[in-house]
Structure 1
Amino acid sequence: MFEGEVLMATRFWQCCPRQSVFRLLSFIACIAMLSLWSVGQVMAGNPSTETENVEPGEETPHLSHDRHLHRYGVPHETIQPSEQRFFTTRSSEIVLPLPSEEDAFTFAVFGDRTGGQPEGVDVLADAVRDVNLIEPDLVMTVGDLVNGYNRTAEWLIQMREFKSIMNRLLCPWFPVAGNHDVYWRPLNDPEMPKFQHQDHYEMHFGPLWYSFQHKQCAFTVIYSDEGDEETGEKSFSKPRLQKISDEQLAFLRQALARGKDCNHQFIFLHHPRWIGGNYGDDWKKRVHPLLVEAGNVTAVFAGHIHHMRSDPNDGIEYIALATVGGGQKGVVPEAGYLHQYHLVTVRKEQVAMAAFPVGQAMDVREITSSLQEETIQLARLPVTFKGGIQVSAAMREKPSTSQFSVSFSNPTSRPVEYTVSLESVDNRWQFAPDHTHGVLNAGASCKADFSAVYQAKQFERLSEMVQVTLSQDYLAPATRYSIPEVKKNVPLLFSDEASSQGTVNRALALDGSGDCVSLESIKVPLPQGPFTVECWFKAREFADRVGLLAKTEQSEYGIFASRGQLDASVFLGGAYKNIRPDLKLKVGQWYHVAMVYEGDSLALYVDGKPPGRLPTKPLMKRKANWLPFIVGADPDVRGRPNSFFNGEIDEIRISKGARYNQPFEPKRRLTSDENTVIFLDCDRTVGPFLIDRSPQGHSFRLTGDAHLTDVKESVKQE
């Protein structure tokens, strides 16, 4: 026998009638049936079972887990295709078995709505929206429908709100009473009825216990807050008050008897009394034996504890749900601490159960091409700054406040809910305000004003910059679509005395093993047309592939120094235009290199001399990309650096226009002007950031062990 059949048979053992003789006969019959079924499946040529003799894993060499093998049910019954149900105009030896036409159905179960903030009704409404997309036959609840613990007037308001939301379901729904639904407060209120809100509940929600049948299944609701029959006292923390009354126990016996011929019986209550503790042992002694004796009780559902839990016992699934709006700590969401609902699929021989986070059902009909285009627009939304973090010499003496604004717009046809926040890992930053939020209507713009102060004497020792995070939700008619956050560093603005180069010349030191500086593409706004990319560099060694200054990936531009051979390239007209001068670079020697695209030619200058020039068609368009410009490496297709440079790089400058068109004497220390796009003189860092001396005023994080080092060699000055 196959191992799978044993597992299936074991599951049948759990589901079959509990009397020992019936179990034994069912188990034997099950084994025989499954063995025949397995043979039949192979003979039928089912694509999912037809295999050669292969070892496990041989057919799935790329699969990294076996989670799909962990299942609870047995494979569904199939039948051979007939002309009435199967049609094709093609010929194939493969036979595709069809599903049997059994009367399967699905129902949903909602956890606690209350025991939390009143705004939890928003979560409930989201659950209703989700389930309406799925359209099960019915929805069950497990109690705590209203906040309760109040008087009649407040209770009625909460009851109407809950029912108003639930009545938007496309399918019928069924209530269960929980402590929040029946507990009255204050307890010393002279107007409090003996049994608190029980009468209100039955007047507006229905009977405290009841049973109904649907598609050969019985659904029974019982009441777990009866309390003291004499005094009316109610509590879920006293075992003596968590007992089922004789009246309700008699009802349960009758309900189970009425459902004895059903395929499955399901029980619903609020308190998971089977877990013991303050619930005592009444369930274990008086209720559970009845359910086992019935022989076809498949599952019991409850709530109250606000997290999911499964406690199978004697072949009965005991299931506790979390919340649909109730108080939720969210300790470990994936382990059941979340807002969720269950979907239960029922077949004659087995039941499938799965939990779904509230709000995660996707509306297929709503996701149109225009919606996708607009959400992509938001994901790529530009954020602009006016002002920034002011850096001055005075900041070395005392903290200084900087003021700036963040601007963005809503280019879509729908409202967008936004939050703009300031944050930094360095907790010495203080912000006012630290965030702002609102709703931006279609086509509108927003400007948010902030101030920041660094509460430390030595500004240059900061560990992290100030970052602006823009969070957005696109508000479609039926769904809120969360847009990936847009994060930007607030620009550093240097005063004249703070940005003075001084007399010390430094360079960027890189070790060839993970060191580089990555410049975000948006911070390197190089327009189409002529441009210049240049730097000074000195290598310790040359590997087989070395990126010096690069933004290449079948696009853009770069300078490489692989094996000591310079290679300058620009992607023009659908292909790279390359210059590879016949020059062998030496280690330990400083070189100035400048790649110049003049609009009709590509030139490469080494120490001011043009060893190569390549004519091109006039003003060919350069293919752009979103990848970073990397100093000391080359970006891969995901923007990750590789092919690292080992040595020192200095005076990195990207400019609009052709700065050189004939031989020249390169200046050892460059300057910035109105044509400068990026200028890294590598003379100063602020914390772990290299400062851009161009009018853009950006800052870029040093990666790996990249650092600045004094230039010791005597290099010819201008």
Structure 2
Amino acid sequence: MDQDRRPRNKLAAEMSSVIYGGGVKNFSGPSVVGSRSGINSALRFGCGIVALHGPVVSIAKSSALDSVAPMNNPSSKKILFCGPAGALGLALVLLGGGCAGPKPPATHTRVQVDSALKPWSNLKFNDDPNNFQFVVVSDRTGGARPGVFEDGVRKINLLQPEFVMSVGDLIQGGTRDRHNINTQWVEFRSFVDQLQMPFFFVPGNHDINNEVMADEWLKRFGKSYYHFIYRDVLFLCLNTEDPPPTRMSTAQRDYVARALAENPKVRWTLVFMHKPLWDYEEDTGWREIEALLKGRQHTVIAGHRHSYTKFERNDQSYIVLASTGGSSKLRGRAFGEFDQVGWITMTDHGPILANLYLDGIWDENIRTEKMAEVMRGALEGKAVAFERMFTNAMFRGSASFSGATTQLRLANAADIPMKFSARLHSTDQVHVKPAQVERVLPPHSTTTVAVALETPAPIKVSELSLVSADWSISYDIPKVPPVEITGKHVW
């Protein structure tokens, strides 16, 4: 089935997409739809608008457009650079539907059921060609927790969005040392270069918090604010550190005004920025931009606070994302504290945001046959056994307790080592020794641990406070994340 079923003339008319910062210029040069030879012709003529059959983004020629754009490595086969001498243009062509010209219409479904009853609700497939999906990531830094953002990158590749947006705080920053800044950017690029789709950079206060870091940003990405149009949706990527701290310059506000004025009829406008300036009392320059947005359908997405909150302003959604690896107490939904990516489906009625917890995204190996085999003994309650010390009759009677030694039995039925860890909690009445137990059991082995419960004086069993232990067992299984089971025992 063609990935875009719109008529070719309509598709060509929509190919006015731009990615640049510093001014928008209309282009009246040749446009080409269809084959690679057509693209080559467009390159010879200076590449105005290049469009291929299928889902396409094209970039209009502009003398204000640098050859550097705030997106990840453009060396992919899906990226095409073009432009006349003296005025480099950058054209991004997503080869979604191939380039051999139009394909014959594809049949959506081929079903035949003889009875009037059908084993489905309806055949109105949710496949609007105008819809598209992308991911937005939030703060990686401001106290980066190692491995979280990298895990997010792997999981984004599982989701297979068309591209990835960001809202800043990509590196830790906090320095004027150019070598240090470069080292941090090299590290971050090593993460995003693992993505199988484009990544669009938006600066945060950790990325640009002094003039040296601002200069290093421009050296790498060319622009600190820019916009592009994809499938008739305007993406505004803004800089809330222009200049630091927490400002939007007059030049940036003028740029936004021009971008909005020259794109009045897009079906939606999406704004990405780091700090949620609408929630600041001081004058940051945002009020002027927000006034320009009034009267058009738009959504604003920010980060910075590492705590998710949805606002409603001017009958529109303004969203502050949680974190994607930045510092967080991870206290959950009630506090808005969790590691996430935002999965956005763009429709004619606006964006639909699904907030995905990173620890809720897994590949097909979430549980394998090997894992099931390894965990069988633990899941059946055979791996950890605490010896019983008290009977119900003892609690009902007048029996007293003056201390005892009990046994903790551990059994590993798996063919790989089992790690066991426990914390044993004393009370004012009963002191437990040892307070902590750590063991690694070889495959197919058992062991026992003596646990002493001591009291300073005899006490009636019925008056004893509860003594407990929290424990966990884990296995390191090749090619899958560590597997852990936790439990609690009360004497």
The TM-score, its normalising length taken from structure 2, stands at: 0.65
Partner of 1:87: 111
Give RMSD over aligned pairs. Answer: 3.7
Partner of 1:531: none
In 2, are the aligned partners of 1:114 and 1:326 still within 8 Å (CA)? yes
Partner of 2:410: 407
Q: Report deviation, 1:451.
A: 5.8
Do residues 211 (structure 1) and 236 (structure 2) align? no
CA–CA distance in 1 between the matches of 2:270 and 2:147?
A: 28
Q: How does 1:211-230 map to 2 (within 5 A)?
A: 211-227=227-243
Give CA-to-partner distance per residue, 1:559-594, whole Å, 9 cap, x none.
xxxxxxxxxxxxxxxxxxxxxxxxxxxxxxxxxxxx
Partner of 1:283: 286
Give CA-to-partner distance per residue, 1:659-699, whole Å, 9 cap, x none.
xxxxxxxxxxxxxxxxxxxxxxxxxxxxxxxxxxxxxxxxx
Q: Report deviation, 1:171.
A: 1.9
Change (3 A) 1:109 1:321: same
Partner of 2:278: 274
Change (3 A) 1:482 1:142: farther
CA–CA distance in 2 between the matches of 1:432 and 1:151?
A: 53
Partner of 1:175: 201
Q: Which residue among 120, 129, 147 is the counterpart of 1:122?
A: 147
Identity of aligned residues (%): 22
Question: What SS does the corresponding residue of 1:179 show, helix, strand or coil?
Answer: coil
Q: Report deviation, 1:274.
A: 0.5
Aligned residues between the structures:
372
In 2, are the aligned partners of 1:467 and 1:487 still within 8 Å (CA)? yes
Partner of 1:465: 467
In 2, are the aligned partners of 1:338 and 1:357 still within 8 Å (CA)? yes
Partner of 1:162: 188
In 1, are the aligned partners of 2:415 and 2:444 still within 8 Å (CA)? no
In 2, are the aligned partners of 1:410 and 1:441 still within 8 Å (CA)? no
Partner of 1:106: 133
Partner of 2:260: 256
CA–CA distance in 1 between the matches of 2:355 and 2:259?
A: 28
CA–CA distance in 1 between the matches of 2:455 and 2:173?
A: 48
Q: Which residue among 149, 152, 155 is the counterpart of 2:174?
A: 149
Q: Report deviation, 1:146.
A: 1.8
Change (3 A) 1:457 1:337: same
Question: What SS does the corresponding residue of 1:174 show, helix, strand or coil?
Answer: coil
Question: What SS does the corresponding residue of 1:87 show, helix, strand or coil?
Answer: coil
Q: Report deviation, 1:140.
A: 1.2
Q: Report deviation, 1:407.
A: 3.2
Q: Report deviation, 1:245.
A: 0.5
Q: Which amino acid aligns with 1:112?
A: D
The structure having more radius of gyration, on CA atoms, is 1
Q: Which amino acid aligns with 1:254?
A: R
In 1, are the aligned partners of 2:422 and 2:469 still within 8 Å (CA)? no
CA–CA distance in 2 between the matches of 1:104 and 1:419?
A: 50
Q: Which amino acid aligns with 1:372?
A: A
Give CA-to-partner distance per residue, 1:401-438, whole Å, 9 cap, x none.
9696653436155x7665332236x4554456644568
CA–CA distance in 1 between the matches of 2:116 and 2:365?
A: 35
Q: Which amino acid aligns with 1:283?
A: W
Q: Gaps spanning 5+ residues in structure 2: where?
A: 1-105, 391-398
The TM-score, its normalising length taken from structure 1, stands at: 0.46
Q: Gaps spanning 5+ residues in structure 1: where?
A: 1-81, 185-194, 228-233, 236-241, 391-395, 491-718
Q: Which residue among 137, 153, 165 is the counterpart of 2:162?
A: 137
In 2, are the aligned partners of 1:121 and 1:162 still within 8 Å (CA)? no
Change (3 A) 1:206 1:401: farther
In 2, are the aligned partners of 1:271 and 1:304 still within 8 Å (CA)? yes
Give CA-to-partner distance per residue, 1:29-62, whole Å, 9 cap, x none.
xxxxxxxxxxxxxxxxxxxxxxxxxxxxxxxxxx
CA–CA distance in 1 between the matches of 2:301 and 2:160?
A: 20
CA–CA distance in 2 between the matches of 1:347 and 1:373?
A: 45
Change (3 A) 1:388 1:90: closer
Q: Which amino acid aligns with 1:291?
A: L
Do residues 246 (structure 1) and 279 (structure 2) align? no
CA–CA distance in 1 between the matches of 2:138 and 2:250?
A: 27
Q: Report deviation, 1:319.
A: 0.6
Question: What SS does the corresponding residue of 1:312 show, helix, strand or coil?
Answer: strand
Partner of 1:343: 343
Q: How does 1:508-523 map to 2 (within 5 A)?
A: none
Q: Report deviation, 1:92.
A: 1.6
Q: Which has the higher contact order (CA 8 A, sep 6+)?
A: 2
Q: Which amino acid aligns with 2:139?
A: D
Change (3 A) 1:208 1:131: same
Question: What SS does the corresponding residue of 2:300 show, helix, strand or coil?
Answer: strand
Q: Report deviation, 1:102.
A: 2.1
Q: Report deviation, 1:323.
A: 0.6
Q: How does 1:377-416 map to 2 (within 5 A)?
A: 377-383=377-383, 407-409=410-412, 411=414
Q: Which amino acid aligns with 1:144?
A: D
Question: What SS does the corresponding residue of 2:360 show, helix, strand or coil?
Answer: coil
Q: Report deviation, 1:101.
A: 3.8
